[in-house]
Amino acid sequence: MFSKILIANRGEIACRIIRTARRLGVRTVAVYSDADIGAMHVALADEAIHIGAAAAGESYLSKEKIIAAAGRANAEAIHPGYGFLSENADFAEAVEKAGLVFIGPSPGSIRAMGLKDAAKALMERAGVPVVPGYHGERQEPGFLIEQAGSIGFPVLIKARAGGGGKGMRRVDRPDDFPAALEAAKREAKSAFGDDAVLIEKYLIQPRHIEIQVFGDSQGNVVHLFERDCSLQRRHQKVIEEAPAPGMTQEMRSAMGGAAVRAARAIDYRGAGTVEFIVDVSDGLSPDHFFFMEMNTRLQVEHPVTEAIAGVDLVEWQLRIAGGEPLPKTQAELAINGWAFEARIYAEDPSRGFLPATGTLSHLRFPDGDVRIDAGVREGDSITPHYDPLIAKLTVHAPDRPAALARLTRALEQTQVAGTTTNLDFLIRLSRQPDFFAGRPDTGLIDREAEA
Ligand code: ADP
Ligand code: ADP
Ligand code: MG
């Protein structure tokens, strides 16, 4: 095990990594920007190093400053968390070049999954079902509209470099295609510096079901079951659960097997998530799930998996990065109970989920039976510089109704003053009849908003 690691991140994920490191006797080094001098992750870490201005480009996204800080602190490894540099292959490579361990997959694995078009082509070759569509090189508008026609409308135009739900346009009719293509390309260019797109069949009312995978450097790969992340607003997850409602053993082993094949195809090491979209028009059926993308990092919603599988995924990450084999075999892993996670954000659901800011003059979380992953304390501020996540609330119970009741109660007992939040929205959502009955789909929130 390492004796000291640097955490190249901030907020809740930095705090969460510190907690496990401390339990394992690993010293932690935080990095922080001008905006985070008094931040919780800085207070929790054993050491903290200032790396620059508030703008992420000057601090949390600066490869050079972060690697220099690790050198200065004599850290042996860097944990990137999620977001920022976590899926940046050049960063992983630079970390290794500096003689440090990157707590994550190899630069080659990150690159293989970095672009959605190349990743889909690779997965097809590995025998993993992919969303029907065009994911080749050609980008001429005339050619793409022809492809859209043969795929059949509605289609989804997707930036190949996309992430966070950006650079996507649903197109229902051929006439709308040229303008949507232009808009998607414009958005992709400005958000990702790459305007290439792929075209997918747009699935109506599908579910998002993803599989947690883990590999070690000895070549072992396991999956830790599924998470259902179908409750989304603007293609971003809001409430996640594990296991997925209605999941059958047959479907789970088909999806788990496909995810393990995906990981093996890229010699995967560490924590990863293979995201699938599932056509549920005929129920959950093993020939109706399709690879969308793989996130080569720890995922925001990893606590629901930790709850049902009874493991600490950050501990697994640290052990594997240190060269140890996977702590458990597939046969030793089992699902226990049901878990939900809700993401509490400073945002205004009534204004298109516009991010909000403010100083948290009052902040109370429920005690007992609830896991709170917060990155802020009472008195801290949510600033416009970073993700406006306040906390993640995770509940675990023997079955889905009990877990959902616990989620609603925990949300009702949470108090936040000083900024607008999505708390009321989450409480309403936790009681929404289709969700309550175990029938989530990715369009549910938008339909509710229109109703
Ligand atoms: P990102 O990198 O932004 O996460 P994804 O490819 O994972 O992009 O897609 C984000 C979300 O968009 C999915 O979780 C799903 O809800 C929706 N989505 C993606 N592809 C399709 C599709 N072909 N049909 C319908 N919805 C889709
Ligand atoms: P996940 O796939 O892990 O559920 P998303 O696909 O929604 O999460 O996006 C990755 C996560 O990383 C999001 O929660 C997003 O807010 C967060 N994120 C993305 N970019 C940054 C960033 N620059 N700083 C902090 N968090 C970020
Ligand atoms: Mg995704």
Residue nearest to ligand 2 atom 21, measured at CA: 83
pLDDT given for residue 450 in this prediction: 80
Q: Is the pLDDT of residue 451 over 80?
A: no
Q: Which pLDDT score, from 0 to 100, does residue 408 have? A: 98
Q: Among the atoms of ligand 1, which is closest to the Cα of residue 167?
A: 3
Shortest-distance ligand to the CA of residue 188: 1
Instruction: Tell me, in angstroms, the distance from the centre of ligand 3 to residue 274's CA.
Output: 9
In a mutational test of the pocket of ligand 1, which residue from 130, 208, 280 has the highest number of ligand atoms less than 8 Å from its CB? 208
pLDDT at site 125 = 95
Identify the weakest region by mean pLDDT among 155-159, 162-166, 188-192: 162-166
Ligand nearest to the CA of 82: 2
The pLDDT tens digits of the residues spanning 99-139 come to 999 999 999 999 999 999 999 999 999 999 999 999 999 99
Average pLDDT, the chain: 97
345 lines ligand 2 (CB under 6 A): no
The closest alpha carbon to 410, from 374, 376, 370, 378, belongs to 370
212 touches ligand 2 (CB under 6 Å)? no
The question of whether 297 is a catalytic residue gets the answer yes
- Residues 4-26 have pLDDT tens digits of 999 999 999 999 999 999 999 99
Summarize the confidence of residues 240-267 as an average pLDDT.
98
pLDDT at 164 over 90: no
Residues 353-375 pLDDT 10s: 999 999 999 999 998 899 999 99
Above pLDDT 70, what percent of the chain?
A: 100
| Measured distance CA(224)–CA(334) in Å, rounded | 8
What distance in Å separates the CA atoms of residue 117 and residue 349, rounded to the nearest whole number?
Answer: 32
Q: Tell me, what amino acid is at 164?
A: G
Answer whether residue 247 shows pLDDT above 90. Answer: yes
Indicate the pLDDT class of residue 165, thresholds 50, 70 and 90. Answer: confident
CA 295 – ligand 3 centroid, Å = 7
Average pLDDT over residues 58-65: 98
Does the beta carbon of 375 lie inside 6 Å of ligand 1? no
- Output the pLDDT for position 382: 98
Residue 275 Cα to ligand 3 midpoint, Å, equals: 6
Task: State residue 449's pLDDT score.
Answer: 83
| 345 and 389 Cβ atoms separated by less than 8 Å | yes
DSSP string, 394-447: EEEESSHHHHHHHHHHHHHT-EEESS--SHHHHHHHHT-HHHHTT---TTHHHH
User: What is the best residue among 235, 300, 302 to mutate for testing ligand 2's pocket, by most ligand atoms within 8 Å of CB?
Assistant: 300
Question: Counting Cβ atoms within 10 Å, is residue 197 exposed (0-12), middle (13-18) or buried (19+)?
Answer: buried
Ligand approaching nearest to the C-alpha of 237: 2
Ligand 2 centroid from CA 165, angstroms = 10
* Predicted local confidence at residue 115, as pLDDT: 96
Atom of ligand 1 nearest to the CA of 208: 14
CA of 147 relative to ligand 1 center, distance in Å: 19
Question: Per the omega criterion (within 30 degrees of 0), is the bond before 398 cis?
Answer: no
For residue 3, the CA-to-ligand 2 centroid distance in Å is: 28
* 206 Cβ closer than 6 Å to some ligand 1 atom: yes
Residues with CB under 5 A from ligand 3 (ion): 275
The sign one gets for the Cα dihedral 322, 5, 14, 368 is: positive
Residue 278 in this model has a pLDDT that exceeds 80: yes
Q: Which of 10, 169, 297, 371 is catalytic?
A: 297
Q: Report the C-alpha gap between 114 and 295 in whole angstroms.
A: 8
Q: What is the pLDDT of residues 287-330, one digit of tens each?
A: 999 999 999 999 999 999 999 999 999 999 999 999 999 999 99
Per cent of the chain over pLDDT 90 is 97
How would residue 334 be classed by pLDDT, with cut points 50, 70 and 90? very high
Per-residue pLDDT, 341: 99
Whether residue 74 is predicted with pLDDT greater than 90 in this model: the reply is: yes
What are the angstrom distances between the C-alpha of 104 and each of 14, 146, 296, 373?
15, 40, 8, 21
Mutate which of 59, 226, 387, 442 to test ligand 2's pocket (most atoms within 8 Å of Cβ)? Answer: 387
Which range of 281-290, 388-397, 441-450 scores highest in mean pLDDT? It is 388-397
Query: pLDDT (tens digit, 9 = 90+) per residue, 27-56?
Result: 999 999 999 999 999 999 999 999 999 999
